[in-house]
Amino acid sequence: MDGAREKLERLLANHCAPVLCRKKTANLVAAGQELAAYLPEVLDGSGISWTKLCSCRKYCHLLFYDRERLESYLNREEHRRFLQACGYGDRKLPEQLLLLAQRYEKYQKKGGEFPHEIGLFLEYPLEDIEGFILHQGKDALECGYWKVYGNVERAREIFRLYDSLRQTLTALVAAGFSLKESAAEAAG
C-alpha cells in the first residue's frame, strides 16, 4: 500500500471511526494537504462524504460525514430552529455546508466569530451546544469528545462507544486491513 494512502487510512481510523462505522454524523479532521489527493480512493464505496472547511499551505480541515444521517439530524425541528437562528434559513445540506465552511474559514483565518453551529453538524447534543455558548466554554459537567452541559451519563456512554470504535478500527487498519474492511468489521 502506498505510504500516503496508508497514513490517511490511519488518520481516518483514529479520528473518524464513529462516522465510518455509522454511529455518528460527522467528524472534523485536520489532514496534511498531501493526503487529500487520496480521499476519493480511500473512501470509494464507503458512503462517507467530505467537504473542505478551510485550508492553509500545510493542512486542510475536512468535515467527513454520513450524508443521510446528517440530513436527518439537521432536519429535526429543534435543530432547524437553532440553525435558522444562526442565519441558515431553510437551506439544504449543500448550502448549509458551504455557509459553515465560509464561517469556519473566516474564524480560522481572520479571527471571526466561532461558528458554534458546527457542534450540531458534529452531532453534539443541542443542550450541550447551547450550554457551551451560555457558559462560554467554562463550567462543563464533563469533557470528552465535546463539553457536556446536559446529560452526563448519556454522553459518557457515547464517549465509551466512540473510544471502542476508534480502538477497534485503528487496530484493524494497523493489522493491514483496508479502512473500508475495518469499518465494516468494527460496525458489525
pLDDT at 1: 47
Amino acid residing at 101: A
Question: How would you classify residue 124: left for phi > 0, otherwise alpha for psi between -120 and 50, otherwise beta?
Answer: beta
Scanning the structure block, which residue is given the C-alpha cell 448549509? 96
- Interatomic CA distance for residues 75 and 83, integer angstroms: 10
- Dump pLDDT digits (tens) for 9-44: 999 999 999 999 999 999 999 998 888 889 999 998
Strand partners, 60: 31, 55
Q: Is the dihedral of CA 7, 114, 121, 89 positive or negative?
A: negative
- Is pTM beyond 0.95 here? no
Scanning the structure block, which residue is given the C-alpha cell 457542534? 119
Mean pLDDT to the nearest integer, 85-99: 96
Backbone angles phi, psi at 61, to 5 degrees: -95, 115
The total domain count for the chain is: 1
| Domain of 27, in residue numbers | 3-187
- Here the cell at position 119 is 457542534
Question: How would you classify residue 112: left for phi > 0, otherwise alpha for psi between -120 and 50, otherwise beta?
Answer: beta
- Dump pLDDT digits (tens) for 127-177: 999 999 999 999 999 999 999 999 999 999 999 999 999 999 999 999 998
- Cα distances from 122 to residues 21, 133, 177, in angstroms, run 15, 16, 27
Q: Is the pLDDT of residue 82 over 60?
A: yes
Q: Is the pLDDT of residue 182 over 90?
A: no
